[in-house]
Structure 1
Amino acid sequence: MEQRASIPPGLPRDNPIQSYWQDPPDEIADRRTTADLPDEVDVAIIGSGISGASISYNLLCSNPDLKVVLLEARQAASGASGRNGGHTKTATYRSFLDNVRSIGAEDAMKITNLEYHCMVSVHQFARENSIDCDSVRCQTVDVFYDERQFETARESVSLMEKLMGKGKAPEHIFHDSQETAEKFLAPNSVGGLEYESGSLSAYKFTTGVLKLALQKGLNLQCNTPAHSISKSTIDGKWTVSTPRGKVIAKTLVLATNGYTARLYPNLQGVIVPLRGVVTAQRPGQGMPQRGLETTYSFVYNEGFEYMISRPAGSKFEGDIVIGGGMHVAKDEGTSEYGNTDDTTYDENSADYLLACTERYFGAKNWGTDSPEGRCRRIWSGVMGFSSDGYPFVGPVPDEAGLYLAASFQGHGMVLCFLCARAVASMIEGKDDEELKSWFPTCYRVSLERMRKKFGGRLRASGAPEPQPVENGMN
């Protein structure tokens, strides 16, 4: 793992696999607001995923006179935000016990609230701004195949309700094996856990936010990779070098997730890319053809899979979108760390995902495959994982004017939107008591966090968390 974590991320690859969500590409996929790059701006943002889009939108809402440029190496929203599983799912209970032990109850509760309110806010924002992204609020179920993990879930939910208060903690409903089989069409489990969730096209949501920011004056520059960043010793401004020229900015935001160490090498081995695989499958003929009422995770000892079905009325309604299968990849998934090649995918993981749906729902519930075949599309995407399992959000110590919004642990759809609001507030000088009341301290960038060496698979993958070890700065 040390060797995998030391691999430089490089730039996003040319010609990535087109994801299910990016077909067809949005009309702003290759947008360049101006023919040439601006010479100087107030704020430069690198990365056009949900973080970069939302930060630019928040800043321009607060101050329409700001000059903001957003640089994207490839097409708009071509990274993780356009390549994920479409799930707005908190599952905070899975890390709550660890969080209480490692960072304390206060931050653990802040994380729980942030993820829940982020999930709610994303769907509310889409509705209020008429972003057509197949937004659905619904229940979700985690189907357990491991008794120990099911009991740990009970313990975690119990502690969450004790600390937060039963009326204030997110509601969780436990189901036994029979109820899980009958209500959720998932036989052979040890039980299920139901709570609030949602699904959407994260690609359409992100391009929708970008369009709102464009209306407010954002300068979007796609197909413009940032090759390097540097800080002036004279005026403290940041210079971003690209193949099309340079941009000078008072404030620079790296919304680059798994690729962040490419531009800021001090994070090499601290924020590590992880490639994941997602499939879109036609439902078996025994399954509801217009979509299931809930979203799913299937939890076992080695990890989990996460799944949505496309809602009625959407393109390919009823399709099952499922990701995971990391444990069957080469070297038990280790080969996927440090891997940013989204022009291809791990075939073992893909084969596993294509086979697991019938197994999870059972041959009787699944029925025969669609006449057109089970597989509609397979693609990969690059996530960012940190050495301690938390995002890096906010100003970088001793680097005035440099901010991060990165390393969302494959969990960005219930983190990025509100973390972006926090970053915008920090840039505006509003890092006040109101922000501190809801934003977790453990998400902030610190020298201590930047010295922790990456040890392996962390919370978001459902596997045990290793103890970080101290490592000197690069």
Structure 2
Amino acid sequence: MLPQANPTISYWQDPPDVDIANYLSSENVPEITDTVIIGSGITGASTAYGLLCSGGTAEKLVMLEARQACSGATGRNGGHTKAASYHTFLEHVSSHGIAEAVKIARLEYNTIKSLHTFAREQNIDCDLFSGDTVDIFYDKEQWQRCLASIAAMQSAMPEDLDGAARYQFWSADEAKEKFHMRGEVCIGAVSYEAGSLSAYRLVIGILKLCLGMGMELYTNTPARKIEQMEGHWRVQTNRGYINARRLILATNAYTGFLYPKFQKVIVPLRGQVTAHRPGRNMPREGLQTTYSFVYAGGFDYMIPRPKGKRFEGDIVIGGGLTKGTNNGVDEFGTTDDSGMSIEISKYLTEATSRFFGSAWGEDDKEGRVRKEWTGIMGYSNDGFPFVGKVLGDKDLWIAAGFQGHGMVMCFLCAKALVIMMSGEEESLNTWFPDSFRVSEERMAKKFTGICVSD
């Protein structure tokens, strides 16, 4: 179904951008264009930017968004640019081999670096933080798997020990002191390079660049139906029909609504996030890293707001999926981001004092939780995104299904998609994972269970 008309209000979108949130290039969509992109999140915006840079003013490009600009998962995430590639490295080695596992790990790391560099070069004010992150472990089995996976990564990637395979271990006592872990007793910790940003402000910045290069943007203009006609695609909207030579689905969790072949191939999953005012005992200078808390059956992630930014010191914490009804299974299949899970809400509200213990202290006099919201992610049948040409249909392209891991995939996946569309696909062989490409085999698989990424 289409995105809900009355979603919860994201921390990042309050207030919405006055120039772009409800932007309309004209009252009605044009009857004819070269390319239509459906979706204005980081994937759609990055793809549009890449096409405009490669095609110049000759590319007539239209972007459609069902609600306000960047109102989907990108504008509703926690703000982490964190790969945590070791979580899935051994699994990728087992299913696709070492070479492919290394490609995936490097793509995730390089996406972070490229995204941060792009934001700085384009002077996009998106509350960017580049630094380290730390994963705090509370489960022995997960900790042992972490050690084995990192050892495998460093063995397979000796040239990346200062980058994608750079990890530092901390004992429980060291983690307690360095990372203020005075709550539940942890087993150990590992730190590595990551970062954070406001994905909403980043994408708003990219959309402004695209508009300056001639893109037309239609917010509050849902694509209700797509049809392949003779030689072109026809898109039905509430502002008329638009005919395009080429169609790009940057629709993530909503892909199956428009293109039924993706039903049960990419499925929606509702995620939940809160923003906490810092406790009285938290460091006055703020926390110096981002965090994840790894326990049996799941994890939570946490991003402190940078110094000098709005609500500096706030702690954005999300996750808790398995704490929901039926171990979180009920959150799968829903596209309703107008509500939230009461069980997950309670868990996330208590999370900061539970993990930090006495280091948290008394809650702020205005209350612990400043904001709480939900967003809809797209999960694929095999844990990988679909990037490329949709088989069996002329000039239909897709980049979707990012498993809640889009901030360390979407930017370079969009770059790869633009390269594919240019006909220079062979240039991708050295760095783009084959497992991300669209194939008949992947399309034949249906989603059967939870596949969780950080």
User: Would you say same fold, with TM above 0.5?
Assistant: yes
Q: In 1, distance between residues paired with 2:405 and 2:341?
A: 20
Cα displacement (A) at 1:305? 0.1
1:391 aligns with 2:388: no
Aligned to 1:345: 340
Question: Is the CA contact 2:265–2:443 (under 8 Å) kept in the aligned structure 1?
Answer: yes
3-state SS, counterpart of residue 132 of structure 1: coil
Residue 81 of structure 1 aligns with an amino acid whose one-letter code is T
1:211 aligns with 2:211: no
Aligned to 2:85: 92
Aligned to 2:52: 60
Aligned to 1:464: none
Residue of 169, 192, 198 corresponding to 1:195 = 192
Aligned to 1:74: 67
Aligned to 1:227: 224
Q: How does 1:173-322 map to 2 (within 5 A)?
A: 173-187=168-182, 188-232=185-229, 234-235=230-231, 237-322=232-317
What do you get for the CA RMSD once the two structures are aligned? Answer: 1.0
Q: TM-score, normalised by structure 2?
A: 0.97
Aligned to 2:408: 414
Q: In 2, distance between residues paired with 1:257 and 1:288?
A: 38
Cα displacement (A) at 1:291? 2.5
1:24 aligns with 2:15: yes
Aligned to 1:155: 148
3-state SS, counterpart of residue 366 of structure 1: coil
How many residues align? The count is 448
Cα displacement (A) at 1:314? 0.5
Cα displacement (A) at 1:344? 1.0
Question: Is the CA contact 2:150–2:165 (under 8 Å) kept in the aligned structure 1?
Answer: no
3-state SS, counterpart of residue 439 of structure 1: coil
Residue 136 of structure 1 aligns with an amino acid whose one-letter code is F
Question: Is the CA contact 2:87–2:146 (under 8 Å) kept in the aligned structure 1?
Answer: yes
Cα displacement (A) at 1:321? 0.1
1:14 aligns with 2:11: no
Q: Which range moved further: 62-71 or 284-293? A: 284-293
Aligned to 2:31: 39
Residue 202 of structure 1 aligns with an amino acid whose one-letter code is A
Which structure 2 segments of 5+ residues have no match?
none
Cα displacement (A) at 1:289? 3.8
Residue 399 of structure 1 aligns with an amino acid whose one-letter code is D
1:355 aligns with 2:354: no
3-state SS, counterpart of residue 78 of structure 2: coil
Residue of 393, 402, 407 corresponding to 2:396 = 402
3-state SS, counterpart of residue 359 of structure 2: helix
Cα displacement (A) at 1:11? 0.2
Q: In 1, distance between residues paired with 2:275 and 2:284?
A: 14
Cα displacement (A) at 1:140? 0.2
3-state SS, counterpart of residue 192 of structure 1: strand
Question: Is the CA contact 1:95–1:459 (under 8 Å) kept in the aligned structure 2?
Answer: no
Q: In 1, distance between residues paired with 2:40 and 2:365?
A: 38
Question: Is the CA contact 2:21–2:219 (under 8 Å) kept in the aligned structure 1?
Answer: yes
Q: In 2, distance between residues paired with 1:56 and 1:405?
A: 12
Question: Is the CA contact 2:137–2:293 (under 8 Å) kept in the aligned structure 1?
Answer: yes
Q: In 2, distance between residues paired with 1:392 and 1:71?
A: 20
Cα deviations by residue, 1:30-78 (Å, 9 ceiling, x for unpaired): 0011232111111100000000001001100111210000000000000
Q: Which range moved further: 130-139 or 183-192? A: 183-192
Q: 1:228 to 1:89 in 2, by over 3 A?
A: same
Question: Is the CA contact 1:290–1:311 (under 8 Å) kept in the aligned structure 2?
Answer: no
Cα displacement (A) at 1:459? 3.7
Cα displacement (A) at 1:333? 0.6
Give the fraction of aligned pairs with identical amino acids, expressed as a percent. Answer: 52
